[in-house]
Every structure is written in C-alpha cells, then in structure tokens.
Structure 1
Amino acid sequence: MFKWFELIGKAIMSFLDLLGWIASLAIHLLLHWPRAKWDVRSIVDQLERVGVQSVFMVSVISAFTGMVMAVQTLDQFLKFGASRYIGGVIALSMVREMSPVLTGIVVAGRVGSSMAAEIGTMKVTEQLDALRAFGLDEYVFVGLPRILASLVMVPILTIYSMVVGTLGGYFYVVVRGVHSLIFKDSIRLLVDTYDINGGLIKSVVFGFVVSIVACACGFRAQGGAKGVGETTTLAVVWSNMLILVLNYILSTILFGGKV
C-alpha cells in the first residue's frame, strides 16, 4: 500500500519539477530572445514540419470524427424531430472542443515527439554545448523557432480541422436523407464568431504547450539513446495530459456561462 503512495508521490513531484522547468524556460525565452541570435530561416523549416506535414493526419482524424459524431447523434435527433439542429451541434462540437483538442494531440504525437527527440539528441551528443561555445544561447537558438512555428501553425490546422470535421458530418447526414440546407441553416443558427474565436484561443494555448513541453524535455535529456527515448515519451505524455487539463479550464472560462 505504501508503495502506491510512493509511486504517486514520485509522479506528482516529477510533474511539478517539469512544470517548474517549463516556466523557467518560458521566462528565459521571453527575456532573452530580443538580444540573442537565432536563425530566422529555421522557422520556415519548422512551419513546414508542424503545419504542412501534419495536414494528412489532421484531415483523416477530423473527417472521421465528424462522421462518427453524426452517426452517434443523427438517429436521436430524428427520433425527437430535431433534425434541423444536427448540423449546428456537429459544427459547434468541432469548433469548441474536438478540433482544438484533436489538433493539439496530433501535433503532440507527431511533431512534439520529434522536437523532443531531436533536441535530446543534440543534448546528449554535446551539440548544444558547441552552440554555447560559439556564443549562442542554445535555448533561444534551438527552442524559439519551434515555439513560434507551433503558435502559428496549430491555429491554422485547427481552422482546417473545423472545416473538415464539419464536412465529414455533413456528408453522412446528407447521405442519410437530411437536406443540405437544413444542415447549413442549423450551423448559422447555433455557431457564431465567439465560438470560433474560443476554439482558436484554445489552439494557441495548445500549440504553445506542445512546443514548450517538447523543448523542455529535450533540453533535459541525459543518458544516451535510452535517455532520448524516455524524453520523447515524457514529452508526448505530459503534452497530452496538459492539453486535456487546460481544455477543461479554458472551456469553463470561455463557454461555461454561454448558452
């Protein structure tokens, strides 16, 4: 029994330690990026990695999520004669919750793990020490382009996910016999600009979380190849957990009092 308490305590301490390091890294980047040297060209490479190379996964996951939501809800709406609301419910779910969260998780798994592994490899092979020897701030030079790229591309991917997921639900609903105009009118009725802006606010937060956690874990890697593997796993696990926790907090703040 006491062993369980020990394991839980170690997990909590590890999490708090990581949060402290993430906060320290974020403050360091905020204070030093105007004076430190960093490669602007690398931002373009990171934009492609975070955004362009994630389009296919976001497309598949979003489309089938929208269709699954339609499968699960359409029969119930038809049973109660509320089919004129089906499109708005699907779109609202995608815009407020599903698209920001799914996009964040996809980027965490596909890009965050890559960032952590790459930076971790640079750490254990002493490439970061070489950057410091050349007078560069390794945290700014390596980390800042990745964070900026995530802040730009995750919201763009989220908008794309909103559209693709809604179209997936639209396809299933129309095939089942609901008129396309009913679907579109329900979106106009239930979804407004505030909902879209709320989803985008979430996406910015999730993009920052994924990139800062990946960088923080990578910079702390040690112990060779095994340490890099553990760092990569840690980055994905903590990113996903923080996304889900912050999603609850942001949903309560943004939509808790909105009818």
Structure 2
Amino acid sequence: MITLNNVNKSFANLQVLNDISITFEAGKTNLIIGQSGSGKTVLLKSIIGLHDVDSGSIFYNDRDFTSMNLKAKKEIRKEMGMVFQGGALFDSMSVEENVLFPLQMFSDLSEKEKINRANFCLDRVNIQNSNHLFPAEISGGMQKRVAIARAIALNPKYLFCDEPNSGLDPVTAIVIDNLIHEITKEYNMTTIINTHDMNSVIENGEKIIFISNGYKAWEGNKDEIFNTDNTELNNFVFASELYKKIKSLS
C-alpha cells in the first residue's frame, strides 16, 4: 500500500500538485488518468522519489518515504519495479541481459540463480526462445513484455508503469493490460499505472484517480466512471472514446 497525504509540488511559481491525498491499495491495478499537462507524470515521479515534494507525506506501508535520507530511500527503491514508456530496454543488451540487469545490480544470488530467475520471469510473461535476441529484433509487444519481466525480476512490492500501452495496437495493448493485472494479483503488488488508454480503464481500472490541473478531481473504479456527474471527467472520457472511434474509421 502507498498513501499520499496532502502532497504539494511546484516548479518556480507554477503549482503542479495541489493538496493530493490518495491511498493506492496492494493487489489492485491503480490507474492515474488525466489530460497531458494535468500533473499525473509529476505525481508518479514524486511517488517514486524523482521529485521531492514541497509539503505533505508519502508512505510505503507504514514507512514515511518523504522524511527518509537518501540511503533509506535507496532501500525502498529496491522494492520497486518500473515499466517505462516505450519499454526503455538497453539496445546493446540481449533480452536475457536486460532482465538480468537489476539482478546483477542489486541481488546477492549466484550467477546460476540469477539466470534461473531471469528465465522464470521471461517465461512468466510468455517469452520463450528469445533470450539471445536484441530489442531491435523483437516486436513492440514483446519489448513491453520483456520490460515487465525486468521490472519483476527482483520480486518487487511496488510496480510502476508509465503509459505501458504506448505505441501498441489494441489487441497487444489488451494482452499487456491483462498481464500486468495478473502479475499484480499473483504477487499482491501495489501497482500504479499512468495511462491515457480508456481500454485499460474499462478492463482493469479497479481504482482510478483522475487528475485535473494538479488536483485530484475524481476517485472511483471502472464500474463508476461512466456514471459520474463530474463534468471534467466526462469530457475527458468522451473525448478519449470519440478520438478512438474516429481513428478506427480513418
């Protein structure tokens, strides 16, 4: 579980996050949605410590992340997995080497155990017989699955995904959504996903946070999102669905 209490963040004279309080629950896919420039990326970066907040607190279970020194924060980061937009695999490393990377950096396992763990994670995301291929030699969907395998290599308690469906066709995007959802349940992780994809919201939005102009404008789930009287959220959802329909006809 990750809990935010009255979090504020500004850059120069621009207030980007305004008094945000949220609880992200373990074992659920927690989605952050909102228009570009709404503050959701700053929110995610603040949660993982890439930005220091101006005020408020962020707790990882009962541990106050905002009051920790750098050494203590590094220990918490060992419990995090990250799936970056675009996958962000190392081009010069093979599929297996990419998944081995966090194990080489942070694990005390033997080399054999590291390789076994990497192969277990690759198998979990349905990647077989591709260990020695390079990112340029596999599809975009496979790259995302390898990125997920790398993210779970250290068996994290917390999984963060930034636009995991970016650049994928709708069918592959659903595969990635379902994979993240399954792994979240399987390992009881606290998973937080930044997304623009309404399919992700409809399929796996167990908890949804809508950010608008730096404020938490709405909180609910996939069953409630189409029955809200929140005008800003309705405009966002309608615009997203309309855009997809127009794009599918073009």
Q: Smaller-chain TM-score range?
A: under 0.3
Task: From the two aligned structures, give the one with the greater strand fraction.
Answer: 2
- Structure (1 or 2) with the larger CA radius of gyration: 1
| Alignment TM-score, normalising by the size of structure 2 | 0.25
Larger helix share, 1 or 2 = 1
The higher-RCO structure (CA 8 Å, 6+ apart) is 1
TM value normalised by structure 1: 0.25
